[in-house]
Amino acid sequence: MKRVIRFSNSLMERWLPDPFLFVVILTLVVFALGIGLTGSTPVEMVAFWGEGFWALLAFSMQMVLVLVTGFVLASSPIFKKGLGSLASVAKSPGSAIIWVTLISLAASWINWGFGLVIGALFAKELAKRVQGVDYRLLIASAYSGFLIWHAGFSGSTPLSIATEGHPLVDKIGIIPTSETIFAGYNLIIILALIVILPLLNRLMMPAKEDTVTVDPAVLEEDEVAVTMAEPLTPAEKLENSWILSMVIGVLGLAFLTYYFVQNGFALNLDLVNFLFLFLGILFHGTPRRYLNAVQNAVKGAGGIIIQFPFYAGIMGMMTASGLTLMMSDMFVSISTDVTFPLFAFLSAGIVNFFVPSGGGQWAVQGPIMMDAAIALDASTAKVAMAVAWGDAWTNMIQPFWALPALAIAGLKAKDIMGFCLIVLFVSGIVIGLGLVLI
């Protein structure tokens, strides 16, 4: 195993470019494929690219807030103490790897945004406390928990088709979550991954001479403190008033309480950001401490701000040119009612490289897959979950979703992708077998 890990890490470190270069290369590849395979002209492909370029602006802002609010919350004294208490359970590098994987899996199953942030923050806390643990593997293990998000409470595909009036309701009706998220085959796949992933990550621990550790002092955020000479001006008194933070923080939590009473415990990305934002305000105590923490947090948001519009442009080319339809039809043509969930999973994994938004991918690929499932007399619920699993599966080597975790950790994509490549192969076998045999 150590030889495999050494080779995988060496491969990724040598050949995987920075995520920005990755998305630029991917843009050029899709541009060429659109011209070569769909008959679209260069002018049309340019138009598709430019018209889609800003389609993810709202989502990009949500992701920036996931990073900033989560980072700020984690830098608060109360939250640091809580994460520290959890981290104290791990007494060795091996137990740290297992522990961070389990925490990330649980958090991602509850909500994908929550899992992304909590996993990376918990990994940093473990790195401060456990000597000799490989920091790259620690962050990769935290990110590996993200694998199960689309089969959990925030899965956009199963939640979409369970909602009245969804876009495909005339074809497939309303499919309850009892047939998707809580179906036997889905729960068995999740349980298998909960057992296998922590053990796999533990087995991937590099040899001592290959272990990359980090100085705990490097991971300490700048202390948020305000020291001023007396007397304070009225403006400075307001900036350092705990009363203002308390009032606005309680107001935010009051809304969340109202929302959950009215709608049940239905988390979405906006609610996670809302919760992180107002808990951060409360936990930092004063507006000035909170704003200082925000200034520290925004330093890592550059990758998200610059790269997400390029992925939106790729999505525009994929959908408008017909490349997504072509890829999906290729798998449909070789499928039967038994094998179709597997091929739907594989096709979704490929499409996810080019359309890495779960909701966006379902909007593009869902109608094609559902028509094929009906034609082949395959289970529409199972095929929908196969697409969801495929979307989540190749996130393991798609830098799009790793950006928030990498920004929190202070690492580059190539630092963790060697480990994630192994996770991709093993989890692909587990998920594929589950979709075919169960």
Residue 267 has pLDDT above 80, yes or no: no
Which of 45-59, 221-235, 336-350, 417-431 has the weakest average pLDDT? 221-235
3-state SS, residue 241:
coil
d(CA 10, CA 32): 29
DSSP-derived letter for residue 232 is P
Domain locations in the chain as residue ranges? 2-213+241-437
Find the mean pLDDT for residues 254-272: 83
Average pLDDT, the chain: 88
376-415 confidence digits (pLDDT tens): 999 999 999 999 999 999 999 988 888 888 888 889 889 9
- Find out whether 397 and 148 touch, Cβ atoms under 8 Å: no
pLDDT at 221 over 60: no
Is the distance from CB of 201 to CB of 140 less than 8 angstroms? yes
Per-residue pLDDT tens over the stretch 343-367: 999 999 998 888 887 777 887 788 8
Q: How many residues does the chain have?
A: 438
pTM: 0.82
231 pLDDT more than 60? no
Unique residue bearing structure tokens 């990758």: 303
Per-residue confidence (pLDDT) for residue 321, from 0 to 100? 94
For 148-185, what is each residue's pLDDT tens digit? 999 998 888 998 899 888 888 888 999 999 999 999 99
pLDDT in tens, 103-148: 999 989 988 877 888 899 899 999 999 999 999 999 999 999 999 9
* Helix, strand, coil tally for the chain in percent (to 5): 80, 0, 20
Q: How far apart are CA 115 and CA 307, in angstroms?
A: 21
Mean pLDDT across 186-194: 97
Q: Measure the CA–CA gap between 280 and 403, rounded to whole angstroms.
A: 22
| Structure tokens given for 78 | 């109360």
Peptide bond into 287 cis (omega under 30): no
Neighbours of 438 (CB within 10 A): 14
pLDDT greater at residue 72 or residue 190: 190
